[in-house]
Chains A and B, each alone.
Chain A
Amino acid sequence: MFRFISNIWGNFKEYFILAFLLILGLVLVSFNQKPGVKTVRAMAFGTFASVSSLVNDVIGISQIKTENSQLKEKNAELMLQLNKLREFGIENEELKGLLKLKDTVKYPLIPATIVAKSFSTSQNTVTLHGGNSSGIKPGMPVINDQGLIGIVYSTSDDYSIARTLRNRDLKLTVKDERSRIDGIMKWNGDDLVMVDVPKTYDIKPGDRIITSELSSLISIPVPIGVVMELSKVETGIFNEVRVKPLVNFAKAANVYVIGIIESKQKNQLELNFFNRK
């Protein structure tokens, strides 16, 4: 009997080990949301990110010159816009004063730097230099001057990982800025798409897509992209709307985390998957 088992093991041990490792891998999939795994993960990426931030700084030096000239140009444009906005602001204050309203909405912006980017096409993530110590918490939106980049998924003391819009696990409630139509947007592996949009809805190529106030993750309007085209679905009543993101994910380096936390009561009520504390 022992010889028989020994023979079997000798002939097929590679397959047994493969099966064992694959089963172990599958078991680990179910451990993704365990607090212990999250702690280990935070420690692992925190340690690695501190090293990669050093490398990133060295690489960044060569890009600074180009970025600097671009920023100067942008600065000039923004200065002109700012002037206009100041005018509008003064006018706005006057009008609000007349209406006895106060602007109470302020979004704290936490600066952070991208120190590493994952290369997966389906689970795109970025590692940010900035974590719990900077006030960053899971669920906070990450933006840059172009628009929404993603949402913080996991944090350690000094680093955090954010799921970008190019991550299949990130689904957002968005709306068409022009027609105010809401929809669910996700990454399908190739494009950002708004799914299950009834064909009768008024969405046209060129429309800007922003986050919807209905979203339990980001309820402030943050630009996301522009409608490229509506898929030509022959059958059914739904369209798929392809959206071109405003953010260039490959070039994004300096970002801001919006330090907003949605209402805990609202989150619990809506069964939001991020358990904010």
Chain B
Amino acid sequence: MRSDYILPIFLFFVLLLLQSTLVNLISISGIVPDLILILLVYYSIKNNQIFGMVLGFIFGLLFDLITGSLLGSSIISKTVCGFTAGYFSNENKRELYLNSYAFPLIVLLCGIIDSFVYSFFSSSNLNSSFVFLMMQQGVFPGVYTAGISLIVLFFRPKRSMR
């Protein structure tokens, strides 16, 4: 395994620990931010699309194994997210995306995709309308995650984090 993956995977465990213990305390109507997604988007932009996809796959696999959710559901959603975030990994604009308010917007986009793919894939509720499903399980968690991702802008290390 490339050494580039070691730090993100270590941070994954730290954030998963926070996610499963502290984050539930700030849930709004059962909707919670996805800290792991923020980490994934950060590293996907920081490196490149392939790195993002592979990291998304690893995060999804670990997440599915640890939380007991359907094996494969997070793998697919996080891989797609890594792919999407990787589109913004342009060498010329990388720093701009990571240091500006574009970052929460990318997290929002990825959050919507992640929540939607995950919930749709894990079990689709055909009784709910598509728009409702999109709002309830895609947009709201995505907005909350994007809001939390603003923290990254303020606390982002000045030196490169690899």
Q: Is A120's CB under 8 angstroms from B122's CB?
A: yes
Cβ A28 vs Cβ B75 within 8 A: yes
Q: Do residues B71 and A28 form an inter-chain contact, with CB atoms below 8 A? A: yes
Min CB distance, A254 to chain B, in Å? 15
Q: Which partner residue on chain A sits nearest B20 by CB separation?
A: A116
A71 at the interface (CB under 8 A from B): no
Nearest-Cβ distance from residue A115 to partner chain B, whole angstroms: 8
Which chain B residues border A55 with CB–CB below 8 Å? 17, 21-22
- Asked if B137 contacts A121 (CB within 8 A), the reply is yes
CA distance A51 to B19 in the complex (A): 13
Q: Any chain A CB within 8 A of the CB of B134?
A: no
Contact with B49, one of A14, A40, A127, A163 (Cβ below 8 angstroms):
A14
B125-146 vs A, CB cutoff 8 Å, 1 = contact: the mask equals 1011000010011000100000
Q: Does A268 have its Cβ within 8 Å of any Cβ on chain B? A: no
For chain A, residues 15 to 72, give those with C-beta under 8 angstroms from any C-beta of chain B: 17-18, 21-22, 24-29, 31-32, 37, 40-41, 44-45, 48, 51-52, 55-56, 59
CB of B59, distance to nearest CB on chain A (Å) = 12
Contact of B53 among A14, A166, A169, A189 (CB under 8 A): A14
B1 shortest CB reach to chain A, Å: 16
A202-246 interface bits toward B, Cβ cutoff 8 Å, 1 = contact, 0 = none: 000000000000000000000000000000000000001000000
Closest residue of A by beta carbon distance from B128: A189
- Find residues 86-138 in chain B having any chain A CB closer than 8 Å to their own CB: 86, 118-119, 122-123, 125, 127-128, 133, 136-137
B38 within 8 A of A: no
A189 & B70 in contact (Cβ 8 Å cutoff): no
Smallest beta-carbon distance B9→chain A, Å? 13
Q: Whole-angstrom distance from the CB of B60 to the nearest CB of chain A?
A: 7
A142 to B150 alpha-carbon distance, docked (Å): 38
Distance (whole angstroms) from the CB of A107 to the closest CB of chain B: 25
Cβ of B31 to closest chain A Cβ, rounded Å? 7
In the complex with contacts A14-B50, A125-B68, A161-B68, A25-B57 CB distance below 8 A: yes
Contact of B76 among A26, A117, A122, A168 (CB under 8 A): A26
| Nearest CB in chain A: distance from B146 CB, A | 16
Chain A residue numbers with a CB within 8 Å of B24 are 117, 119, 250
Asked whether B149 is an interface residue with its Cβ less than 8 Å from the other chain, the reply is no
Closest to A125 in B: B68
Give Cα distance in the complex from A59 to B71, angstroms. 29
How distant is the Cα of A166 from the Cα of B30 in the complex, in angstroms?
A: 10
Interface presence of A13 (CB below 8 A):
yes
Contacts of B30 in A (CB 8 A): 121, 166, 250
* A22 and B67 contacting across the interface, CB-CB below 8 Å: no
Contacts of A103 in B (CB 8 A): none
How far apart sit A121 and B122, CA to CA, in the bound complex (Å)?
10
**A270 contacts B by Cβ under 8 Å:** no
- A123 sits at the interface (CB 8 A): yes
By the criterion CB–CB under 8 Å, are B71 and A32 in contact?
Answer: yes
Shortest A196–chain B CB gap in Å is 11
- B110, chain A: closest CB distance, angstroms: 14
Q: Which one of A31, A116, A153, A169 has the greatest number of beta carbons of chain B within 10 Å?
A: A116
Pairs across A and B, CB under 8 Å, 10 listed: A32-B71, A41-B71, A45-B67, A52-B17, A119-B19, A121-B119, A122-B118, A122-B119, A154-B68, A168-B123
**What are the nearest 5 A-B pairs in CB distance?**
A29-B72, A116-B20, A161-B68, A25-B75, A168-B123
